[in-house]
């Protein structure tokens, strides 16, 4: 089984703005970012899953119109912090969250552990189906980080120790019945 985790292209949002599940447009660089990731994806028939958020769904529709939307592939929700400038969030609340982003939830939002649980629910379900066709998952950086941490048995506290570009591809493949990370951030 081959699984390609595709991070959405650059979202249309100002730098310094907190966003997770906000349904953002993409920038004018969408087409060039899409073309840049194509060489890292398999041609032909593919199974496509996508987050329903616009920035992922738009990208997935470039591959095929026959795709499956799954809410479990959404980015982490920042709740009341969504679309606020990070500098507008009270320092004490932001510092408390940053000290334990894995377990702490922003007001009305999710913790990274909440994201982890729903993403692994999707991932475990995906592993139950023996696909002969490559799988493309159009999703978000947080979702990809959860899967990489899971595969490599890296603590969630280290999820941001590797970089993921917008419009990048991470490949997972089965070798001798073992899922192996083939590359990150291509």
At 74-90, the pLDDT tens digits run: 999 999 999 999 999 99
Three-class SS of the chain: CEEEEEECCCECCCCCECCCCCCCCECCCHHHHHHHHHHHCCCCCCEEEECCCHHHHHHHHHHCCCCEECHHHCCCCCHHHCCCEHHHCCHHHHHHHHHCCCCCCCCCCCCHHHHHHHHHHHHHHHHCCCCCCCEEEEECHHHHHHHHHHHHCCCHHHCCCCCCCCCCEEEEEEECCEEEEEECCC
The Cα–Cα gap between 186 and 183 comes to 7
Give the domain range for residue 81. 2-183
Count of domains observed in the chain = 1
* CB half-sphere exposure, 1, CA atoms < 13 A: 16
CATH code for the domain of 88: 3.40.50.1240
In this prediction, what percent of the chain has a pLDDT beyond 70? 100
* Confidence class for position 179, pLDDT limits 50, 70, 90: confident
**pLDDT of 117-149, one tens digit each?**
999 999 999 998 878 899 999 999 999 999 999
């Amino acid at each position: 089984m081959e699984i390609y985790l595709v991070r959405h292209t650059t979202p249309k949002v100002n730098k310094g703005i907190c966003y997770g599940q906000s349904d953002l447009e993409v920038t004018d660089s969408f087409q060039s970012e899409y073309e840049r990731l194509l060489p890292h994806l398999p041609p032909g028939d593919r199974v496509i899953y996508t987050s329903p958020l616009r920035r992922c769904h738009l990208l997935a529709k470039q591959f095929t119109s026959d795709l499956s939307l799954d809410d479990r592939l959404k980015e982490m929700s920042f709740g009341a912090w969504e679309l606020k400038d990070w500098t507008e969030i009270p320092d004490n609340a932001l510092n408390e969250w940053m000290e334990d982003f894995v377990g702490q939830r922003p007001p009305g939002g999710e913790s990274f552990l909440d994201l982890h649980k729903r993403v692994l629910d999707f991932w475990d379900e995906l592993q139950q189906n023996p696909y002969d066709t490559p799988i493309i998952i159009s999703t978000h950086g947080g979702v990809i980080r959860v899967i990489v941490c899971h595969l490599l048995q890296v603590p969630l506290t280290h999820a941001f120790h590797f970089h993921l570009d917008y419009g990048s591809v991470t490949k997972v493949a089965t070798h001798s019945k073992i899922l192996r990370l083939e590359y990150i951030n291509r």
